């Protein structure tokens, strides 16, 4: 039974007259239905309180916004950074309680834009906002635009999409990240001719494409003596990355560096160790996880470019809160910062 059917000391028309609105607006406000401006809600609540229209506890409940329902759509698979991000979100109820938000995670098959588009649209009536790792594809852009037209904002996470009506992007400057990786590898190799290679998850992710571009341009501009001999796609799968690394080392026995653009660094590390190249091939990648921690500690990996997962989640929640309140999406939201982790500055577990 709606609150307005509860007998009160005044009638709904009295509240509407006192607030200067229609009875339908009073109904929407006191039953927490959407479509009413914040200032109008304040007038209705004030009128209902002054007229003792309903018991104080019911009025307080009506004044408390419904929890914001947010969905995070992440790729399934062996990318440990993304899987730990999903676990963080799924088990954050207590941490997020003060923000009046409820988050859920939907894992979908990686690198499938049609499935991603379908899943985004599937949740159109179930959530108040969606954060997702975007794939560059017309079907995904169409889904984002349709959601925007329906009033469901989307935020791209880690990897952005162009020419779509997403509300904001939360993630690194990936072109700068690629340049940073290239600069570190070049400095580790030193002033000599050498060969380096890249392994990406998929160039369907704009993040991976931008990292590749930044990496290539860095060597063209500053280190022309170092030749980039190729790019392989491993789809963030450890076994595929393992095979790709062995093939690269077989084709280029003098390979001096590998940049793992995506996830599944453990596959690259396993191949380097098996071929006794862990100490002479410079290895830089992304995402501080249990795997990359181990590779840093044993010296197989030289550096990891990462971002704070909790800060990423909180930025998304801040953006959706801004949009709900009618503010600019990025008001008060700090840009994501890249962190470079070496063996000597690995943060303690759980930090």
- How does pLDDT run across 135-144, given as a tens digit for each residue? 999 999 999 9
Q: Does residue 9 sit in the same domain as residue 78?
A: no
Residue 8 confidence (pLDDT): 46
> What is the residue-wise DSSP string for 205-230?
SHHHHHHHHHHHHHHHHH-TTEEEEE
Residues 267 and 324 in one domain: no
pLDDT band with cut points at 50, 70 and 90 for residue 261: very high
Burial class for 273, CB neighbours closer than 10 Å (0-12, 13-18, 19+):
middle
Contact 211, 243 (CB under 8 A): no
Written as six digits, the tokens of 44 are 């209705």
**Structural domain containing residue 301:** 174-306
Tell me the angle at which helices 265-274 and 238-251 cross, rounded to the nearest 10 degrees: 40
What DSSP string runs through 163-216?
SS--SEEES--HHHHHHHHHHHHHHHH-SS-EEEEEEES-TTSHHHHHHHHHHH
Q: Is the pLDDT of residue 74 over 70?
A: yes
- What are the pLDDT digits (tens) for 196-240? 999 999 888 999 999 999 999 999 999 999 999 989 999 999 999
Asked if residue 128 and residue 37 are part of one domain, the reply reads no
Angle of helix 12-19 versus helix 38-50 axis, rounded to 10: 130
One-letter-per-residue 3-state SS of 233-272: ECCCCHHHHHHHHHHHHHHCCCEEEEEECCCCHHHHHHHH
**Calpha distance 263→79 (Å, rounded):** 5
Position 254 pLDDT exceeds 80: yes
Question: Is 346 a domain residue?
Answer: no
User: Residue 124: is its pLDDT beyond 50?
Assistant: yes
Structural domain includes residue 320: yes
Q: Of 20, 48, 63, which closes a domain?
A: 63
Which carries the bigger pLDDT value, residue 53 or residue 174? 174
Given a cut of 90, whether residue 100 has pLDDT beyond it is no
| CA 228/CA 258 separation, integer angstroms | 10
Q: Are residues 108 and 184 in the same domain?
A: no
Per-residue pLDDT reduced to its tens digit, 27-67: 888 887 767 887 888 888 888 888 888 887 777 777 777 78
Over range 10-21, report the average pLDDT: 88
**Rounded-to-integer distance, Cα 310 and Cα 314, Å:** 6
Residue 349 lies in a domain: no
Instruction: Give the lowest-confidence range in 93-97, 131-135, 166-170, 227-231.
Output: 93-97
Q: What is the CATH number of the domain that holds 21?
A: 1.10.260.40
The DSSP bridge partners found for residue 170 are 157
In this prediction, residue 351 has a pLDDT band, given cuts at 50, 70 and 90, of: low
Q: For the whole model, what pTM was predicted?
A: 0.83
**Is the domain of 183 the same as that of 240?**
yes
pLDDT digits (tens, 9 = 90+) for 266-302: 999 999 999 999 999 999 999 999 999 999 999 999 9
Average per-residue pLDDT in the chain? 91
CA–CA gap between residue 106 and residue 46 (Å, rounded): 40
Region 308-312: mean pLDDT is 94
288 and 213 inside one domain: yes
Residue 252 has pLDDT above 80, yes or no: yes
What percent of the chain is modeled with pLDDT above 90?
74
Task: Give a yes or no: residue 50 inside a domain.
Answer: yes
Is there a domain that residue 37 lies in?
yes
Q: Count how many Cα atoms sit within 13 Å of the Cα of residue 83 in the half-sphere of its side chain.
A: 14
How far apart, in whole angstroms, are the C-alpha atoms of residue 173 and residue 171? 7
Residue with the bigger pLDDT between 78 and 259: it is 259
Q: Which pLDDT band holds residue 111 (cuts at 50, 70, 90)?
A: confident
Q: Is the pLDDT of residue 2 over 60?
A: no
The CATH number for 301's domain is 3.40.50.2300
Q: Directed axis angle between helix 56-63 and helix 38-50, to 10°?
A: 180
Number of domains within the chain: 3
Based on the domain organization, do 166 and 182 belong to the same domain?
no
**Both 160 and 197 in a single domain?**
no
Specify whether 190 is located in the same domain as 300: yes
* Residue 247 clears pLDDT 60, i.e. is over it: yes
Which residue from 70, 15, 24 is spatially nearest to 48, judged by alpha carbons?
A: 15
Alpha-carbon separation of residue 142 from 118, 130, 159, 199 (angstroms): 10, 15, 17, 29
């Amino acid at each position: 039974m709606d609150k307005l059917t509860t007998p009160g000391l005044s009638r709904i028309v009295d509240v509407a007259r006192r607030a200067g609105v229609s009875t339908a607006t009073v109904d929407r406000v006191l039953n927490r239905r959407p479509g009413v401006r914040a200032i109008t809600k304040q007038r209705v609540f004030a009128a209902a309180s002054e007229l003792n229209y309903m018991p104080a506890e019911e009025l307080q409940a009506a004044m408390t916004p419904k929890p914001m329902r947010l969905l995070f759509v992440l790729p399934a698979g062996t990318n440990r950074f993304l899987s730990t991000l999903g676990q963080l979100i799924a088990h954050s109820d207590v941490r997020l309680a003060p923000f009046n938000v409820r988050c859920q995670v939907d894992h979908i098959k990686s690198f499938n834009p049609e499935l991603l588009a379908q899943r985004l649209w599937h949740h159109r009536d179930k959530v108040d906002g969606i954060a997702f790792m975007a794939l560059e594809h017309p079907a995904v852009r169409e889904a984002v635009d349709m959601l925007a037209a329906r009033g469901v904002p989307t935020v791209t996470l880690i990897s952005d999409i162009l020419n779509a009506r997403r509300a904001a992007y939360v993630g690194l400057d990936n072109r700068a990240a690629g340049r940073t990786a290239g600069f570190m590898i070049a400095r580790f190799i030193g002033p000599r001719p050498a060969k380096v290679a890249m392994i990406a998850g998929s160039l369907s992710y704009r993040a991976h494409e931008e990292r590749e571009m930044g990496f290539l341009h860095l060597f063209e501009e500053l280190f022309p003596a170092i030749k980039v001999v190729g790019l392989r796609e491993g789809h963030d799968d450890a076994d595929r990355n393992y095979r790709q690394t062995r093939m690269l080392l077989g084709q280029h026995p003098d390979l001096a560096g590998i940049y793992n653009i995506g996830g599944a660094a453990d596959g690259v590390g396993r191949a380097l160790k098996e071929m006794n190249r862990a100490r002479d091939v410079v290895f830089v990648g992304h995402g501080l996880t249990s795997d990359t921690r181990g590779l840093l500690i044993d010296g197989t990996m030289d550096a990891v470019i990462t971002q704070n997962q909790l800060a990423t989640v909180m930025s998304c929640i801040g953006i959706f809160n801004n949009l709900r309140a009618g503010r600019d999406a990025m008001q008060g939201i700090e840009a994501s910062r890249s962190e470079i982790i070496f063996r000597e500055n690995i943060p303690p577990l759980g930090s």
